[in-house]
Each structure stands twice: as structure tokens, then as C-alpha cells.
Amino acid sequence: DDARKGGFEHYMLKEIYEQPQVFFDTVKSIENDSRLAMLRIPAEVTVVACGTSYHAALIFRYLAEEYSRKRVSVELASEFKYYTPPIRDMVIAVTQSGETADTLAAIQRAKARNCPTLAITNVLGSSITRSADWTLFMCAGPEISVAATKSFTAQLAVFMAILNEMCDGKFTETLGRVHCSVERVLSYELEDAVAIIKNASEMFYVGRGVFYPVALEGALKMKEISYVHAEGYAAGELKHGPFALLSEETPVVAICTPSPTYGVILSNIKEMKARGAPVIGIGVEGDTEAESIVDVFIPVPDDHQIVQVLTVSVVLQLLAYHTARALNRDIDKPRNLAKSVTVE
């Protein structure tokens, strides 16, 4: 077992470290996959998924709608199965394992409605590959830790390569440097942030735009492996309820990288601070303004938003990992969770 962990204390950390290569390999493999060119992504698509894969799909929605103007709906597979939203021109199922029962059922449902289907999965020969009309593979390799990390990055790589194809190669150069930026954050141990979170029993993660689903995924990682109750929120929604819960005991992780909503998120942070909440800000290197208003500032390289989706996501994985480690949790096998949920 120790040999398979390659010198890392846990599979999760090993898999986090594999992400620069996984992203690079997956983008290259999709670029070279003739199926992508043959398969024209229609103007309106629906993506179905569960768990972390659902968050990858939400990120795709923000990016695709912003940069390509295609309409992307995202549905939880477990919901899509039972109710009938107006179906788009194509249904895309994203699933690391290719075996999640709800996602398989959602694809069957789409097929029964004569809708073209595309699967994005990590496992050759998995059930989803036999159901969907087309399959694109991520190159994550086997993921042992129950909490998804490198498979999430690989899903983002597939989605971003699809986006790049939809945008006539506009992001080729940007995607080519993601792995270098991710490399730069891997060694973060985040002691100051962990010291705040490890004593909390509940906390929030907030972001806006594409960083809202990044915040959802950060909160999911924290819940899964540290058992700290973490909720992801769109930053503007905190005042519609969760403000009632804010105090010195509820840390907030706020993603405050540059974007058209940067000013608004800084005022959101001030509102949270005014209610006593310790704020851990994730922003770009050299942003002294954001740094001056938060309790702990975690810098990521200043780069295109597409790159920051990855660097911030990896920082949030590391934050969950190091918190769970400080709390002495069973990181690779969290209680009550399964790697693949093959029952409804």
C-alpha cells in the first residue's frame, strides 16, 4: 500500500499532486480525439451528473455561456430521472466511474426521448460507455481516494477542451499553461487557515460567477473528509439567510480573484467581517487590497479566469486535506461514503 502511495501519506495527496499532468494529458488527448471534431456541440445542451461531477458541469455552464453563448442547462441526475425538464438538443453525462446509478438512469431517460447522448468518463468499458452514443475519456488514471480530486480536474480539462473547440481554439495557449500554475500551489500547507477551521463546526464558502460552483466543490471536499459542516453559497445570497448564522465561530472562505464582481465581493467580505466571521480570502498574488481586509490571505498566480478555476480548486482541495489531517480523519476512506454509488 505504501509503495502505491508513492511516498505520500495518503492517496488523496498523491492524486492532488498528479493534477498538473492529468490536466495536460487530458486536454491533449481531447484535442487529438477525432470524435470531438465530428461531434458538433449543438446550441443547447443539458448536462447531468452527481456530486463532484455535478460541480464540474456547473463550471462548464458558466464558461460555455460566457465565452461561446451556447445554452447549457445542468441537472442533478437523481432529479432528471424523475421529472421532465424540457430537453435540450444533446444530453451530456459526466461521471468519473461511469457506474453511478442515477447518471446511468438519466442517460437512459434521454435516450428514451430520442435525444443524442455524450458521456464523459474516466473508465474505459464502464456502463455509461455502453449506453451513450459517444464517449470522451478523461486521462485521470485510477483514483483511489474516495474524495474526487484529479478526476474533477480531468473533467474540467475535457469541458475546457470542448469549450476551446467551440471557440475556434481561442484558449489553446491558456490551457497549455494551466499545469504550470497548478504546480505552483501544490506545496501550500495553509497552516493559518487550518488553524481557524479545525476548531469550527460549521463554515461557509462563497464565490461569484464561475467561482460559485468552485466554492460549492470546496465546501463538498471539506464536508467529505474533515466532517466540518461547510456550505457553499453564491456570495450575494449570504445575506438572504446565512447571515443569521455568522459569528466568530463560523469561518468563511471567500474567493476574491479579479473579475467584474471583484468590488462587490470585497464589500461582501466587509459585511461578513462586520458580523464577526473570520474570513480566509483566496485572491491573486500582489492583491494588497483584498489581503488587507481578510484574516488570512491565500494567493494564487494572477492569470486568466480559466487558469484560476484550477488553481483555486486545487487550493481548496489542499485546505480540506490539511484540515482533515489536522483533525486526524480517515482521509482516503471517509465514514459512510462510497467511491461509486451504484444504487439509487
| Residue 102 and residue 344 in contact, taking contact as beta carbons nearer than 8 Å | yes
39 or 144: whose CB is closer to ligand G6P?
144
User: Catalytic site residue 333?
Assistant: no
The CB density around residue 13, as the number of other CB atoms within 10 Å, is 23
> Interaction with ligand G6P in 95-114: which residues (CB under 6 A)?
95-97, 100, 103
Q: Which stretch binds ligand G6P (CB under 6 A): 44-52, 58-66, 81-89, 133-141?
A: 44-52
Q: Which stretch binds ligand G6P (CB under 6 A): 51-59, 169-177, 249-257, 318-326?
A: 51-59
82 or 243: whose CB is closer to ligand G6P?
82
152 or 171: whose CB is closer to ligand G6P?
152
Task: Compute the distance between CA of residue 96 and CA of residue 217 in angstroms, rounded to an integer.
Answer: 15
Task: Compute the distance between CA of residue 251 and CA of residue 197 in angstroms, rounded to an integer.
Answer: 7
Among 43, 180, 195, 337, binds ligand G6P (CB under 6 A): 337
| Residue 233 and residue 204 in contact, taking contact as beta carbons nearer than 8 Å | yes
68 or 149: whose CB is closer to ligand G6P?
149
148 in contact with ligand G6P (CB under 6 A): yes
Kindly write out the interface string for residues 224-263 of this chain, putting x where it contacts ligand G6P by CB under 6 A and - elsewhere: ----------------------------------------
195 in contact with ligand G6P (CB under 6 A): no
Strands (E), the chain: 44-49, 71-76, 90-95, 117-121, 134-137, 202-207, 229-234, 252-255, 279-284, 296-300
Among 51, 209, 213, 278, binds ligand G6P (CB under 6 A): 51
Q: Tell me, what amino acid is at 106? A: A
313 in contact with ligand G6P (CB under 6 A): no
Instruction: Give the binding-site size for ligand G6P (rule: CB under 6 A).
Output: 15
Selecting among 70, 273, 333, 339, the annotated active-site residue is 339
Task: Give the Å distances, CA to CA, from 254 to 151, 201, 214, 275, 325.
Answer: 24, 18, 11, 15, 22
Phi-psi region of 241 (alpha: psi -120 to 50; beta: other; left: phi over 0): left
132 in contact with ligand G6P (CB under 6 A): no
127 or 164: whose CB is closer to ligand G6P?
127
> Interaction with ligand G6P in 71-100: which residues (CB under 6 A)?
95-97, 100
Task: Compute the distance between CA of residue 317 and CA of residue 315 in angstroms, rounded to an integer.
Answer: 5
57 or 190: whose CB is closer to ligand G6P?
57
298 or 318: whose CB is closer to ligand G6P?
318
* Side-chain-side CA neighbours of residue 315 (13 Å): 30
Beta carbon of residue 224, minimum distance to ligand G6P (angstroms, whole number)? 7
263 Cβ contact list (under 8 Å, min separation 6)? none
Q: In what order do the strands lie in the sheet with 252-255?
A: 229-234, 202-207, 252-255, 279-284, 296-300
Task: Compute the distance between CA of residue 94 and CA of residue 132 in angstroms, rounded to an integer.
Answer: 11
Beta carbon of residue 176, minimum distance to ligand G6P (angstroms, whole number)? 26
Among 59, 72, 146, 190, binds ligand G6P (CB under 6 A): 146
E strand or H helix at 245, and its extent? Answer: none
List residues binding ligand G6P (CB under 6 A). 50-53, 95-97, 100, 103, 146, 148, 337, 339-341
Active site residues: 339
